[in-house]
Amino acid sequence: MLYTNYAEYNLDTLTLTNKKQTSDDRLLQSRLGEEGRIPRHIAVIMDGNGRWAKSRGNIRLFGHKAGVDSVRDITEACAQLGVEYLTLYAFSTENWGRPMDEVTGLMQLLVQSLRNETRKLNDNDIRLLTIGQLERFPESCQRELREAIDLTRDNKRMNLCLALSYSGRWDITQAVRKLAVQVKQGKINPEDISDDLITSELVTADIPDPDLIIRTSGEFRISNFLLWQLAYSELYITNTYWPDFRRNELYEAIRSYQKRERRFGKTSEQVST
């Protein structure tokens, strides 16, 4: 059946699997850890939900809903691998311009997913945080997010950072504005403005730059994600739509990352010694 009205779509059917980790998967993960470095921070542009749904004759929200299963699987796998930060681009500043029905559906899905998943995140010692203009979200969403953030505040195993109403240009703009105020108040001089000072005013000030950025659905663009922070991130782009992106492909992305030489502007000889 082709749903045309999002209001008819029952989000209560959102059930997430609670599979036990298989011994094969444990083996794959330990091999990955032996073969090279596990990225400290992985950031993901989760794209292709709409096309995934359309290819099945369904509405876009069906794809977003299926995408939640991938979020869960990738979050679990990253925590098991010892990734310290996982940042997920869930809603961009530009996504506010989508049809009202889709935006509302996404907000409902976010609230529902937080209700279903927060306890499990907490049981797994995962800390939830967000970056973006949360104040633009409906109060119900903000409350649900605040509760999840508060509950998981002291967790140590992994940081799961949701980019919500986020864009890189917005982030840089708000940082520049704060610095301009400090100059105006005479707290700093224009000459004091450095790479580090700008970094310290970004919403990611407490988060290391991403080592690996994954984009699904085959688009070769950044779409206003972490513009400042990705200066030296390794990029991995796959044609797989987000709802089909599961841990085995994450392992492929990490394997690709492990084969690369990160030179940070230096020569190969310099970084290999």
CB 224 within 8 A of CB 168: yes
Told to judge if 189 belongs to the known catalytic residues of this protein, a careful annotator would answer no
Q: Is 223 in the site for ligand IPE (CB under 6 A)?
A: yes
Cα Rg of the chain, angstroms:
20
Nearer to ligand IPE, 85 or 89 (CB): 89
Catalytic residue among 25, 69, 95, 209: 95
* Residue 210 interacting partner from ligand IPE, Mg ion, none (CB closer than 5 to 8 Å by kind): none
Closest distance to ligand IPE from the beta carbon of 271 (Å): 32
3-state secondary structure of 89: strand
Q: Is 213 in the site for ligand IPE (CB under 6 A)?
A: no
* Residue 49 interacting partner from Mg ion, ligand IPE, none (CB closer than 5 to 8 Å by kind): ligand IPE
Distance between CA atoms of residues 72 and 29, nearest Å: 17
Nearer to ligand IPE, 159 or 216 (CB): 216
Q: Within 110-129, which residues bind ligand IPE (CB under 6 A)? A: none
Closest CA to 107 of 183, 2, 6: 6
In the sheet where 234-237 sits, what is the strand order?
126-131, 158-166, 85-92, 41-45, 212-215, 234-237
Closest distance to Mg ion from the beta carbon of 53 (Å): 12
Nearer to ligand IPE, 38 or 85 (CB): 85
Angle at CA of residue 61, ends 2 and 119, nearest 5°: 135
Q: Which of 26, 37, 221, 266 binds ligand IPE (CB under 6 A)?
A: 221
Nearer to ligand IPE, 47 or 73 (CB): 47
Taking the CA atoms of residue 246, residue 252, residue 255 and residue 259 in that order, the dihedral angle to the nearest 10 degrees is: -140
Q: Is 171 in the site for Mg ion (CB under 5 A)?
A: no
Distance between CA atoms of residues 219 and 1, nearest Å: 29
Told to judge if 95 belongs to the known catalytic residues of this protein, a careful annotator would answer yes
Question: Would you tell me which residues interact with ligand IPE (CB under 6 A)?
Answer: 45-51, 60, 89-92, 94-95, 106, 217, 219, 221, 223
